[in-house]
């Protein structure tokens, strides 16, 4: 396989209520990757409309994700930040990929089965084709590395299958791609460690989720200091003291989750946290966690709310990012059209 220049691409859906799980699981990874890679971060509004959205809420949610990116430290001047719908090439390449991907491949996607539920006949065609659009997002820039959560691994494998099949189907008889030269790279996942899987504050067996009816189950990035403190104080725990070794967290999902959050926020391990707080009173640890979380998140929340309200600024960032993304996307599509045999 030939080597492609390293490029990071990832997408976040603008679905509202960005929370600590999104922050630790995705956004902090995006921030760190800026130091070592060229990065493109996309607010995937075309993916959002695969399920019903209220237009005004969608608009506001696109600005929320953008504001969160910037407040958390993503630099939209050094890297590219934009919303997907402003670059029409995403939808165009997705169509071509709809003709490359096989029904059998998409039928195996577990996320579609979960999201469509029992009433599959009533799911949108877009929800079914969601993974081909995701493949287009990545391959439009010929990105090589994709930071995603565990739940997106299957979609990324599909993107690799699509890239491979496109290369196989279209390049074999093309003299420009002799000697095994390929067009699309096979993008690799950068999967987050299990330590950053943030669970609900009310039930340690469920993921922290934007759709949990209890707002106390999650810490929203937009929460103010008092709200953050209150939610952590109220977080479910068990009556025992903290263990001094990780093994002692087995069967204690709530304690495990809080220790994991502390570790992730300090950039340390759970073992580090237990070395500091183990065997001590749970309430001592909880107070420290309140202080730490407020210290790390509250300033981001303040900045995020300020940016989110500045529509001219946020929309300007997205427009500028889209212009830069479009230039690269258009260059790829020129070649794709030639490869497929279209006239331009």
Shortest reach from residue 39's CB to ligand TRP, in Å: 12
Rounded Cα distance, 248 and 261, in Å: 17
* Element (DSSP H or E) covering residue 179: none
Shortest reach from residue 205's CB to ligand TRP, in Å: 21
Q: Select from 7, 20, 8, 10 the least CA-distant residue to 207.
A: 20
Among 18, 20, 44, 294, binds ligand TRP (CB under 6 A): 44
Rounded Cα distance, 65 and 18, in Å: 7
Q: Which is nearer to ligand TRP, 45 or 256 (CB)?
A: 45
CB 4 within 8 A of CB 196: no
**Burial (CB count <10 Å: 0-12, 13-18, 19+), residue 195:** middle
Stretch that binds ligand TRP, among 148-156, 223-231, 259-267, 283-291 (CB under 6 A): 148-156
Q: SS3 for 102?
A: coil
Q: Which is nearer to ligand TRP, 9 or 285 (CB)?
A: 9
Shortest reach from residue 152's CB to ligand TRP, in Å: 5
**Pairing assessment for the beta strands 188-191 and 80-83 based on DSSP bridges:** unpaired
The two three-digit tokens of residue 187, written as one number? 């993008």
What is the DSSP track for 19-71?
A: BHHHIIIIIHHHHHHTTTS-EEEEE-HHHHTTS---HHHHHHHHHHHHHHHHH
Backbone φ and ψ for 148, nearest 5 degrees, come out as -145, 165
Q: Which of residues 228-287 bind ligand TRP (CB under 6 A)?
A: none
Shortest reach from residue 340's CB to ligand TRP, in Å: 22
Rounded Cα distance, 94 and 193, in Å: 30
The two three-digit tokens of residue 234, written as one number? 């109220």
**Burial (CB count <10 Å: 0-12, 13-18, 19+), residue 293:** buried
Q: Which of residues 88-147 bind ligand TRP (CB under 6 A)?
A: 134, 137-138, 146
Q: Could you give the residue numbers annotated as active site?
A: 115, 207, 210
Q: Which is nearer to ligand TRP, 148 or 322 (CB)?
A: 148
148 lies in the binding site for ligand TRP (CB under 6 A): yes
Shortest reach from residue 215's CB to ligand TRP, in Å: 22
Shortest reach from residue 228's CB to ligand TRP, in Å: 24
Q: Which is nearer to ligand TRP, 47 or 160 (CB)?
A: 47
Nearest residue to ligand TRP, scored by beta-carbon proximity:
11
Q: What number of other Cβ atoms are within 10 A of residue 3's Cβ?
A: 7
Shortest reach from residue 157's CB to ligand TRP, in Å: 13
Site track 4-43 with ligand TRP (rule: CB under 6 A), x = hit: -----xxx-x------------------------------
CB 300 within 8 A of CB 225: no
Q: Which is nearer to ligand TRP, 187 or 243 (CB)?
A: 187
Q: Which is nearer to ligand TRP, 31 or 246 (CB)?
A: 31
189 lies in the binding site for ligand TRP (CB under 6 A): no
Among 47, 63, 142, 197, binds ligand TRP (CB under 6 A): 47
Stretch that binds ligand TRP, among 3-11, 211-219, 260-268, 304-312 (CB under 6 A): 3-11
152 lies in the binding site for ligand TRP (CB under 6 A): yes
Total interface residues for ligand TRP by CB under 6 A = 13
The two three-digit tokens of residue 197, written as one number? 């899987």
184 lies in the binding site for ligand TRP (CB under 6 A): no
From residue 301, give the alpha-carbon distance in Å to each of 20, 294, 320: 11, 10, 24
Q: Which is nearer to ligand TRP, 72 or 146 (CB)?
A: 146
- Residues making contact with ligand TRP (CB under 6 A): 9-11, 13, 44, 47, 134, 137-138, 146, 148, 152, 155
């Amino acid at each position: 396989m030939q080597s492609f220049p390293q490029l990071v691409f990832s997408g976040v859906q603008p679905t509202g209520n960005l929370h600590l799980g999104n922050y630790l699981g995705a956004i902090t990874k995006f921030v760190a990757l800026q130091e070592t890679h060229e990065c493109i971060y996309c607010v995937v509004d075309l993916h959002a409309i695969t399920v019903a959205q209220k237009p005004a809420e969608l608009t506001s949610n696109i600005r929320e994700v953008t504001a969160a990116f910037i407040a958390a430290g993503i630099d939209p001047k050094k890297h590219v930040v934009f919303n997907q719908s402003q670059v029409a090439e995403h939808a165009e390449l997705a169509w071509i990929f709809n003709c490359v991907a096989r029904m059998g491949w998409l039928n195996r996607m577990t996320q579609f089965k979960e999201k469509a539920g029992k009433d599959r006949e009533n799911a949108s065609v877009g929800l079914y084709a969601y993974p081909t659009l995701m493949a287009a997002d990545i391959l439009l820039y010929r990105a090589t590395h994709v930071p995603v959560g565990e739940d997106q691994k299957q979609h990324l494998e599909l993107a690799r299958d699509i890239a491979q099949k496109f290369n196989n189907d279209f390049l074999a008889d093309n003299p420009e791609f002799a000697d095994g030269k390929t067009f699309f790279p096979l993008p690799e996942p950068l999967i987050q460690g299990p330590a950053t899987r943030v669970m609900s504050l009310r039930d340690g067996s469920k993921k922290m989720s934007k759709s949990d009816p209890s707002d106390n189950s999650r810490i929203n990035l937009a929460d103010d200091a008092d709200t953050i403190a209150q939610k952590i104080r109220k977080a479910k725990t068990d009556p025992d003291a903290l263990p001094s070794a990780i093994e002692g967290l087995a069967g204690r999902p709530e304690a495990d989750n809080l220790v994991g959050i502390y570790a992730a926020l300090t950039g340390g391990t759970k073992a580090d946290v237990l070395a500091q707080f183990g065997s001590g009173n749970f309430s001592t640890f909880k107070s420290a966690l309140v202080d730490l979380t407020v210290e790390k998140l509250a300033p981001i929340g303040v900045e995020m709310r300020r940016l989110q309200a500045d529509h001219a600024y946020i929309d300007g960032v997205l427009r500028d990012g889209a212009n830069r993304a479009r230039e690269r996307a258009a260059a790829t599509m020129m070649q794709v059209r030639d490869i497929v045999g279209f006239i331009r």
